[in-house]
Structures are given as structure tokens and as C-alpha cells.
Amino acid sequence: MMVVSYYPRYEKGCTGKKNELLSNFVRPYKVGDKTLVISDNGAWAVLDNQQYKKVTSGELKKDDALFKDLESRGVIWTSGNVSDVARDYKRRKQFLFQGTSLHIVIPTFRCNHKCLYCHSNARPEEKDGFDMDEETAKKVVDFIMQSTSDYIKIEFQGGEPLLNFPIIKVIIEYATKKAEEKEKVLSFDIVTNFSLMDDEKMKYLIKRDVGLCTSLDGPKELHNKNRVLAYGKTKDSHAKVEYWIRKVKEEYKYEKINALMVITKHSLPLWKEIVDEYVRLGLDRIWFGFVNPLGNAQSNWDKIGYTAEEYVDFWGKALDYIIKSDIDIREMSASIMMKKILTKSDPMYVDLQSPCGAVIGQMAYDHKGDIYTCDEGKMYEEFKLGNVGTHSYKDILTSPKACTMVASSTNDTTACDSCAWKPYCGLCPVCNFASQGNIISKLPEDYRCKILKGQFRYLFDRLLSDKRYLNVFSKWAERKVF
């Protein structure tokens, strides 16, 4: 990190006139024989050696074309652009001003799968005592509607949420009524493995405009190896996923359907086959999620884990294949990152925010009405904030534990300050806790940090060296992420 500041030169005569330079921090990253500089507000530029020397030595003049270019970009701040930079920075940080909008509800912890990487604390399908009841469901909705956000999204997760479908219907009906009373915009998503789906359930969900998200790890053999249908009569969980994706798109003509995947060690050689499988099923988005050492993944790490470098290599090969082959599919992690890099808007993806989305962007509610910081946080008692039966939204948001969690996810650390990618990145206290036993990460040892650094390096290297990538990334960045 370096400070771009010309106050020492102009200090005596600094009158606040237009184009006088103010202090700013920029972080350099070498790209071939040039230097990429990124400012705290996410603005960036690529400088040759002479330009870089001018900027860092204080030799840049106000009438230089380079000065005007860097001022227009917001890389350097002047009295002429500082108001615009502040406005754009506030826009990037809009998630700090709207209240908790994403609410993850767990109708049941029971599941009929036993996925190798599961991090949802899922229990066997036949277990009792892990379903949400109607009274708790309505208390959860009442709590959610206390959020100061005008927009509310309720996402049903599990376990497998379809194992408690009657409560999903209760929540949808009750929340719809309450949202109308509170004049809030309300939407619903469901994350389901589709193995228990039928036409009656599907017609209800489509009628209620519920977004559908399933899991598809790739071709049949790979998917079934990762996602074991432990309690069913068949071991072919892929068949149900394919059946319902096709039926929803072709018969119901419903477009609000997506799939997620988790990359395991088994996936690494199959980057081409995975992309081809998504294309075969008519999906226009693909998200290469790396496995986190949480839950089952932690205990199965020797079987499914890999190094950060191995994941980034896989991810880069898959992206190269998509872009060089001109395949009409969008990779979502790259899309999110490029929106942050190429536009002045933030895609509101809670994992890449500082502070992260825990508490202030999302909260999770289990079958007992216990409140957790986030989806992953429900794994650990340490991330429980209270209960919908005994705490108000204000109680939770102002509690010492919530404030600590938010503070711990703010990337104003010494290690982050030296990183070029800080303006686009974010920390995860849950991942830190799982891997290091502390919500404050030792970043040099952090698996997630190494992956994100590798992804940002890949994106900028391609972005600055090949116009094909710039064209594709620009199109992805302009599209709505969620």
C-alpha cells in the first residue's frame, strides 16, 4: 500500500481550489511490465514505469493528461472530484444503510442425502425433533418483518426443506400477509435437492413465484459421488435433478431456476465436463463453489479437499474454456467480482463485503427459532445471537455479540491493508473459526484468502491482456447478479 498525497508540496498554499490533490491510498500489483494501482474506493488504473514513477514520486502535474485521467477515474482525489468519489463509495457500501434483507429459514434439519461436503448440520430423514412448528414459523416471520429493510427475501434451506413442506406454505402465506401490512417488497427462494419434489409442490411454488435453486455438481457419476442419496431406494440423485430442471424449463416454462455446485477433489479434472453438463441442461449460469472445511467437509477433507492453488487452477481452466469456446453461460463468482471491478455498483453478495453480510445483510433461523449470524453460522453455538421468542430485531442488531461479529469481518487489518484486492474483498468469521478456532483470521494461513487472491489475480491478468475477456467480463458485469 502507498499513500498518494501532495499535501507536503502544496501544504502552504492549499486553499481548497479545484484540482488540488487530497490524500488517497492505492495498492500496487505488477502485471507484466506495468503496474496496476487500486484505490480504497475500488477505482483502478494501469501505469507504465514512467507513469508509476510520476505518481509515486509526487512529480505528477495538474495539467498532465495522466492527472486528468486518474482524477476522472477517482484513483486520485481532488477538491474537484471528492464529492463524486464519496457518492460512489457510499453507493458501493449501500448494504450498510438498508437493514437485514436476506433471511434464511430452516424448516427442518432432516435430509435424505448425506453429501460429502454438507455444512448444514443435517440429520437423517427418520429423526424426530428437528422440524419447525407453526407457532415458531410465525414468530420467525414476525421477527423478520421488524427489519428496517424495505426489501425482504426469505430463503428456505435445510436439511432438505421439502421434508417440511406444510411449514413452507405457512411461512409463505403468513409472510405475504405481513409484508403487505408493513409495505415491504417480499420474495422467496428455496434451495432443494429436488428428490422429494412432485407436481403439486412445484405448481404451488411457481404460483407463488418462488425462486428455485438446486444442486448440480456435474455429470451423473461425479454428482452421485459427491451427493449421496443415503436414505432413498436409488443412489442416482442426479436423475431427479435432471428431471426437474428439464420439466421446470420445458413444461412449466418457468425461468427462475438455478443450480449450485461444490467442487471437490473428484471434480478437479472435470472442468470441461462440468461446464458441458450445465449447457446440456439449458442452464445459463454456473457457480464453481469451492469446498469450505466445515461440517462433513472437515471430517472428509482427506477424501474431497484440495489446496487453494488446485482450486484456482481448476477455476481458471473452466473460465478459459467458457470464454475461448464462446459458450453462452456465465460463471457467477467471476461475474460478482467483475461487477465490483468494472462498475460502481456493489452486487450485494454478502461473502465479498466488508463488513460481511453476517447480521447486517443476512440472518438464519433454525427449527427452534434460534437466530444465527448467517447460513454458515448455524453450524456453531458461538454464532447464535438469540431466539425469535425472546428477542427483538433491535435487541439482536445492538447486542455485543452481533457488533463483535460485524467488527471481525471488516477487512481493516494490517494484512488486508497490504493487499491490492482489499476494496473488492471480504472476510468470513465462520470460516476463520472453523479452520483456525478464532473469528479473527491469521490471513497468511487462510485457505479462503489464498483462493480469493488467486481469483482476483487471474481476472486482472486476463482482463488486461486479452480483449475477449474484457468483452465477456464487461457483459457479465452489466447484468443483474441475483
Q: Which three cell numbers stand for residue 249?
A: 424449463
CA distance 268 to 276: 15
Residue 179 corresponds to which cell in the numbers above?
A: 409484508
154-171 pLDDT per residue, tens: 999 999 999 999 999 999
Judged against a pLDDT cut of 60, whether residue 65 lies above it is answered with: yes
Alpha-carbon span 95 to 375, nearest angstrom: 18
**Look-up of cell digits 449460469:** 285
Closest CA to 342 of 35, 34, 29, 43: 43
Instruction: Name the strands in the sheet holding 370-372, side by side, starting at the edge strand that comes first in the sequence.
Output: 288-290, 257-263, 211-215, 185-191, 151-156, 102-105, 362-365, 370-372, 384-387
Q: Yes or no: say if 6 and 21 are a contact pair by the CB < 8 Å rule.
A: yes
Please report, for residues 138, 165, 397, 450, 481, the alpha-carbon distance to residue 333 in angstroms, rounded to integers and kept in the order given. 34, 31, 29, 15, 10
C-beta pairs of 305-310 under 8 Å, 24+ apart in sequence: 305/264, 305/265, 306/264, 306/265, 306/268, 308/447, 308/450, 308/451, 308/454, 309/450, 309/454, 310/268
- Split at pLDDT 50, 70, 90, the class of 233 is low
Instruction: Check residues 196 and 58 and name the one with the higher pLDDT.
Output: 196
Calpha distance 45→148 (Å, rounded): 37
* Residues 152, 328: Cα–Cα separation, whole Å: 31
- The share of the chain scoring above pLDDT 70, in percent, equals 94
pLDDT tens-place string over residues 180-193: 999 999 999 999 99
Q: Record the cell numbers describing residue 263, joined without a space.
A: 467442487
**pLDDT of amino acid 235:** 77
Residue 103, all three cell numbers: 433471511
Provide the pLDDT confidence category of residue 150 given band limits of 50, 70 and 90.
very high
Task: State how far the Cα of 206 lies from the Cα of 79, in Å rounded to an integer.
Answer: 52
Q: Is 77 helix (H, G, I), strand (E, B) or coil?
A: strand
Average confidence score pLDDT of the chain? 91
Q: With CA atoms as reference, report the closest residue to 304 among 292, 314, 288.
A: 292
Nearest to 99 by CA among 340, 360, 402: 360
Average pLDDT over residues 15-37: 75
| Residue whose C-alpha is closest to residue 288's, from 246, 243, 242, 335 | 335
pLDDT reading at 5 higher than 50 = no
Asked if pLDDT for residue 37 goes beyond 90, the answer is yes
Nearest to 26, CA basis, from 38, 44, 43, 41: 38
> Which residue from 105, 149, 126 is spatially nearest to 363, judged by alpha carbons?
105
Q: Which single residue is written with the C-alpha cell 460463471?
A: 331
Interatomic CA distance for residues 114 and 295, integer angstroms: 11
Per cent of the chain over pLDDT 90 is 76
Per the rule left: phi > 0, alpha: psi between -120 and 50, beta: everything else, 391 is beta
> Cell 494490517 sits at which residue?
414
Q: Around Cβ 467, how many Cβ atoms within 10 Å?
A: 8
How confident is the model over 360-379, as a mean pLDDT? 95
Q: Identify whether the C-beta of residue 187 lies closer than 8 Å to the C-beta of residue 149.
A: no
CB 275 within 8 A of CB 91: no
Span 360-373, average pLDDT: 97
Residue 405 has pLDDT above 70, yes or no: yes
Predicted local distance difference test score (pLDDT) of residue 14 = 40
- Are residues 144 and 152 in contact, defined by beta-carbon separation less than 8 angstroms? yes
Contact 107, 131 (CB under 8 A): yes
Kindly state the cell numbers that stand for 280: 446440456
Q: From the centroid of its chain, how far is CA 348?
A: 8
pLDDT confidence of 105, banded at 50, 70, 90? Answer: very high
What does the block give as the cell for 292?
A: 469450505
pLDDT above 70 for 231: no
Q: Report residue 278's pLDDT band, with 50, 70 and 90 as the boundaries.
A: very high
Neighbours of 207 (CB within 10 A): 8
What is the DSSP secondary structure assignment for residue 157, as one 8-state letter?
A: -
Grouping H, G, I as helix, E, B as strand and the rest as coil, residue 154 is strand
Q: Please determine, for residue 413, whether its predicted confidence score (pLDDT) is greater than 90.
A: no
